[in-house]
Structure formats: structure tokens, C-alpha cells
Chain A
């Protein structure tokens, strides 16, 4: 097959742009990594209400289009721009048997690595590399990219953080991975 897609020459840097301080404490990095793994398990196991409960009420969930990685969802076409109410609507839809593109459901496995953490005044910035393997109808698709999480602390209950911003930045177009994006990335 002749490749028809062209790739933007821009390689985005994943570290937060502002003056956040890199976290070096292994215990904190380990706890944050564990948070990401638990989150991934909730998605992979389709425990979507529990996943939704990890979000702060003012949170956003973003998936930019692959060639506009720095884009603002207010000015640039995105694949996904959800606030918590619209994300709840997306989850509600996915739970329905009438979400035909996910009925029967995909199986996904998220591999998360290269976890890096920065301290902010009000929480943590986290970057990790993901590969999501998706299996449906005997077809195996792979999504690859970077997760950006902004976590804010909460006290008293597990887990220790809520997600304030979650952005899944793909390195490739959807055209080459399953054609569409009916799963939560």
C-alpha cells in the first residue's frame, strides 16, 4: 500500500511549558504511576462510571487532531473536547447497547510508560507515553501517543488526586488506526 498521509514536521515537546518543577521523589512518581495504571484498568475493563468519578467537576478531556497538536479546542477542530457533563453523556452513550460502533464492545489494553511528573502550585503535571491496543471483530488496532494529565490533590479519600485535565495526543491519524475513535482513548 502506498502511504498517502503526510506528517507534519512539527515534533511537540511534552514537558509543561510553564515553570513547573520536575518531581524526583521515587515514592511520588510511583504513586502517580499507580494512579495512571488504575485509571487505565478502569477504561480497559469498561468500568466507566468509576473512571468518570476520577474527574474534577471542572475537568476537560481532549483529543486533538493529530496534525494540530498545540491547538486550542475553542479555535481548532478537535477529535474530542469534553467537559465533565459532556463526558458523562459520552459515557452514558457507550454504556448503551445502541452505541453500535461499540456494541459489541472493543477490548482495549493500555500500556503506559515513561511517566514523568512536575510539581505545580495547585497539583501535578504528568506526562506518559501510551500504546492502546484495541481488538474488535478480529481486528487489532494500535493507537500511540502521549497522555497529559493535570492532577489536583484531594484529601480523605482514595485515590489521592482528581483529574483536572486529561489530553491524549496521538502520533498518527485515525485513518491508520481503526478508521474511527469510538473508544475512550
Chain B
């Protein structure tokens, strides 16, 4: 096959970047979208400045004064529990000349003082100190000069989000079908908490490649052979190719894949890795879910493994533990990832320890699997330098199922098509 030298004639129209032909069974994405810095600029304006983005979990700032500095959509923010009891998200920039007001990752503070000219803000964001304020005239609007909040801030089941678009739909509407998958996580326990510590890592590849990877059931066995070998040898678990799986388009670009993995789940599928002495507790926890939610929903909460995408860049993996991951581009070819572990508050300390061990063996920047995922994305990015000549990526797997009304499998690419269709509609 000869290459297609159509770079010069290729278009800047998002309509032609994602091309679906149901009759032909093809779904193609123009590789320009993964390498072009102009596309990245458009994404920042059309996707990251318009969609609801995850900031943090309520458990990360439990007491008044608690704060976390966060970088969301490439904007520095402060997630701060005010002394009036309200959790807020504030722009981390002094209203005077712009310096970061908060310059540490986390802590507890009644107020914060900008180190440049010592303007001081309360934990509500209010400006309550301006040195030498006789230097300002009577029209200086002190009340209007508090730290600003993004135009839209809301939370769902303890997950706090912001949106930089004042005209955006409300969070619950935005979440569409993803809300009930967040429920499946939130219903695991009365109280969930983010475990201390963050996995902060990066890759030299386009952010969308890692979104795809995070929802990709097709790559597990070929790419992660060494991890599954390890799992078999150390935990006695194997991934069964014949287990039922499903991929679901949840609307608004959100999607989920569901599998029954070989992993032990702290809530609530016992396996030897969790220790014999934890078995009665985990089985009792499952019974509790059955009594509370009925057998069908208990099965969904406690026995299915799910990788959820909340468009554009939040992944919630509920597998051998709950992982919250955000994927943010810093350029067309570089991506920053933050990842936290969410766990049942007050769970048995031994179970907590095993939950963390099981998670970091698999995921995170030094896990036995994630580095290979990053390597795969970076290898794609390197290969995509051929984009002027080799124009298209293929995302058609499972289209014959999708368009004949059959359930899609986790190893299909329905979930990526859901993402790309939404992406295209926002850039169009």
C-alpha cells in the first residue's frame, strides 16, 4: 500500500478529523489530532475550558482550613475547606499582580498571605488584609477583590468538579450515564477516603492516547504479559479470556468497560492475596451489600471491575482498589498524570495495607504495568511522526457489534469511539 501524501490538503475542520462510515465498518481518526500543537490549543479552549473537570475528593480536606493545591486544566487552583464549613475551589492567583498565593501542595491554614506584597486572604477566599491600604482610594473594592472561584463549582457523591464555562450544563446533567457508575463506587461504603500520597507522573505522548489506554481491554494480555505472569505466580490469579465483559457508551463522551477480573477486590471479592483472615470480613461486606442493595446491584458494586471515563480526562478504575486518575496535556506531545487511591474509611489496617500493595504492584509510575502503558503511548507518539504520510488511526474494533445492536466487549473500541465523537463535537 502506498502512503497518502495529503498533508497539504488535509483540513483544519474537526468534522474531517473523525470519520465514521457505518456501512464500511470504519472509524478513523486523523493522526494530526495527536501531534499538532494547533489542535492542542483548540482543545484547551474547546474541551478543557468547557467541560467539567475533576478537582478532588471531599475526604482530602476534612477539617476547616484544610487545603490542597491542584493543577486542573492547566490552571492552578486551591481546593480549600473554609472556616465557614464550605469547601471551595479558588483560583490560586493573587488578585493584585497574579503570584501564586498557595505555594505548598497541601496543609491547613486559616488564611494565606501572598508573599509578594502580603495581601492576605481568609479560608473563604475573602481579602482581609492589604498592607498600606491608605495607598488605595475610597473606590478600592476590597470586598470584590477576594480570591476568585471558577464560574461553575459543584460536587457529586463527594467528587468535586469545576467548569470554566459559565454557560455549561449543570454537573449532574453533564455526567449523564457516568453518574450511576460513580454511584457504584460511592455505594461501596458509607465513608470513602483518599489515601495519603499521590502518584504524579508523565509521558511524552498525546493525552488522548492515555485516555484510550485507560479504557482499552484489548491491550491487557498482549501488553501486560509480565504483569499477568507475576499475578499468577504471586497471587494465583489468572485473567480468563472467556469471562464476560462489556463496554458501554454512557453519553456526553463518557464510557465504561466492565470485566470480571482475576483480582481480589477489598469490596468485596475475596482472593488469597487479601489474606485468609480477611475472608470472613470481605464476605460479610458482600452480604451487607446484598441486603442493602439487592443481589443484582451488589454484584455490580462488589464483583465487577470497571474502568470509567468521565469525559474528557477523569478515569475512575474500580478494580483491585479504586484509582482516581486525571490526564492533562501540557502540549500536544506531553501529558501529566495525577493518580490517587480511594479506599473505605476505617477499614481493617491489614486490608488497607494489602489494598495498597495490590494497587501499586499493578498501577502507578513504578508498577508492573503502568510503565508499559506509558511506553506504548510514547511508541505511538514516536510513530505518529509519520502523520503527514500515514494519515489515519483505526478505531473500528467491534463496530459490527455496535451497529447490529449486540453488546460490545471490553476489548472492543466502542468506548473510544464514544470519546472521539464527543471530542469532535466540541472542536467542531
Contacts and interface: CB of A to CB of B under 8 A. Distances in A.
Contacts of B234: 85-86, 89
A81 B367 CA distance: 10
B203 A179 contact: yes
Q: Looking at chain A's contact residues, is the secondary structure mostly helix, strand, loop, or mixed?
A: loop
A71 B200 CA distance: 16
A53 interface: no
A7 B104 contact: yes
Interface class of chain B by DSSP: mixed
Interface of B: 69, 71, 74, 76, 102-106, 195-204, 223, 225-227, 229-230, 233-234, 330, 336, 340-341, 349, 352-353, 356-357, 359-361, 364-366, 368, 370-372, 374-376
A179 B204 contact: yes
Given A74-B356, A175-B202, A63 B372 contact: no
Contact of A79 (B195, B199, B229, B353): B199
A155 interface: no
Contacts of A90: 230, 368
A98 B364 CA distance: 18
9 contacts: A4-B336, A6-B102, A71-B196, A77-B197, A96-B229, A99-B372, A100-B376, A101-B374, A174-B200
Contacts of A14: none
A89 B197 contact: no
Interface residues of A, number: 41
Contacts of A75: 195-196, 349, 352-353, 356
B356 A73 contact: yes
Interface in A1-44: 4-9
A96 B226 contact: yes
Contacts of A181: 365-366, 371
Contact of B226 (A64, A81, A99, A180): A99
A75 B364 CA distance: 16
Given A5-B200, A6-B105, A79 B375 contact: no
Contact of B370 (A9, A93, A175, A180): A180
Contacts of A131: none
B195 A77 contact: yes
Nearest to B76: A4
Given A76-B356, A93-B229, A180-B374, 11 more contacts: A7-B105, A65-B198, A79-B365, A86-B361, A93-B226, A98-B225, A100-B375, A101-B372, A174-B200, A175-B201, A182-B371
Contact of A179 (B106, B226, B365): B365
B226 A65 contact: no
Contact of A81 (B106, B336, B357, B372): B357
B335 to A, nearest CB: 9
A10 B109 CA distance: 16
Interface in A47-71: 63-68, 71
A73 B357 contact: yes
Nearest to B75: A4
A76 B197 contact: yes
B202 A80 contact: no
Interface in A111-163: none
